[in-house]
Amino acid sequence: MSLAGTPRRRVALGAAAGAACLAAGGLLGPLNNYDTAYSLLWGQDLVHGRTPDLEVALAPTPHPLATAWGALLSLAGTDGAIWLWQGTALAALLALGVLVAALGARWFGLAAGLLAAALVLTREPVLSFGLRAYVDLPYVCLLLAALLVLRRPRPALVLIGLAGLLRPEAWLFAGAYGAWLWHRRELRAEHVVLVGAAPVLWALHDLVLVGDPLWSLTGTRENADTLQRVTGLDDVPVTVPRRLGEVLREPVLVAAAGGAALTLLWQRARALVPAAVVVLALAAFCVLAAAGLPLLTRYLLLPAALLAVFAGAGALGWTQLGADDPRRRPWMAFGALVAVLLVAFAPGQVRRIDRLTDALDRQAAVLDDLHDAVTGPVPACRPLTLANRRGIPQTRLWTGLGPDDVRSAQDGPVAGTYVTPATPQVAKDFVLDARDRDRRVAPVPRGAAVRRDGAWAVATTCG
């Protein structure tokens, strides 16, 4: 079912929406995501002919497609690249809503699809990960787009392959899709190449940049151990429901459970594909757990998005039934229950979004002040030492300094120019989080010359 009319109109609407996202990118302020800032930094290194240093302390997992995107955007300069990446983040949020609506409409009717999109785009974690420009939203969008073209193997596998350069879970989807093509006797040699392309390219990426084709795996495991993150299959039965609950909240989980039951019972042909993808996504999450990788909420955004589609079906899937269909009335009754739950829990959801916007505003203001502190009249006293790792990639982007010239006070004694939170509230709002190895802020050395620069104090320890 079309959501926007003719193909020409859809293209025009998509172009207008994309332009609006890019125009609004600057409204989000500085790049507020440690992982993404490193992707942009590494891409910038490649553009300038430098080998990215993936082995810095507590560096995030490198994602080949994100690094390549960072390299492309770096051609616009640092400020332009940050602006464009923020626009990309907004575009991914918009695309997520459109794709969820389109898939929901195809499977369970337009009303169900539109409700599913509204549910997804009002979930606080989805907005948080999207506005902070995590790569997980583009990953989900690529896989959802692949579902839209599932009957066309080449574009579907290209989309899954691109997703596989952002997150390794997509490799399982590529293998499953290849097995499905083989079962249908439609598997071709080019399909086999596309199925295996992402893991091979990722291994080559690590081999060329680090000399170890498994660097992403081992480095991520080491970071998970250092940060004491939850890992292992033993924690999956508790972690998965809790994390999905954090994303969707209680009314949507109830609607999704009912929607899955109703559609699998009465509309099985329509429900099998989304149900199978949810199962595959959870299986991929288990593979990550078995490999010793962290069990993070954002790794469950794909099953959460598809469960939102089932929630839309639970509330409004009855609109696809005839007026005299005996299944319509009980389904409508369940939909009414879902509506009551959504309305009852709406104030809590609004409060969560308000807290998110307040936190983003505070963090953006602090990051703006950090930009001024490290790019203003900073003495030529090196290294530039920050209270912890959080602002290192942004600082290197802004200043052009190398990894040896920007360090964390958690990695050794304070030296050079020390940029530290000016107040405990700044440390709480921006610098420190529960996963830091050391939540203390190193004191300013005695005798250092100190000046206040907004939210930060800049101390010079050398003459």
Q: Which residues of the chain have pLDDT under 50?
A: 1, 11, 22, 26
Q: Dihedrals φ, ψ of 456, to 5°?
A: -125, 150
pLDDT (0 to 100) of residue 153: 96
DSSP class of residue 450 equals E
Other beta carbons less than 10 A from residue 68's beta carbon: 16
How many residues are there in the chain?
Answer: 463
Beta-bridged to residue 384, according to DSSP, are: 406, 417
Chain center to CA of 298: 6
pLDDT (0 to 100) of residue 223: 83
Predicted TM-score (pTM) of this structure: 0.92
* Cα-based distances in Å from 222 to 6, 60, 232, 352, 403: 51, 11, 14, 33, 20
Quick one: tokens of 102? Answer: 């389109």
For residue 140, which of 298, 356, 375 has the smallest C-alpha distance?
298
pLDDT (0 to 100) of residue 109: 95
**Burial per residue of 97-126, b for 16 or more beta-carbon CB atoms within 10 angstroms, e otherwise:** bbbbbbbbbbbbbbbbbbbbbebbbbbbbb
The Cα–Cα gap between 398 and 383 comes to 15
The residue ranges of every structural domain in the chain are 7-229, 359-460
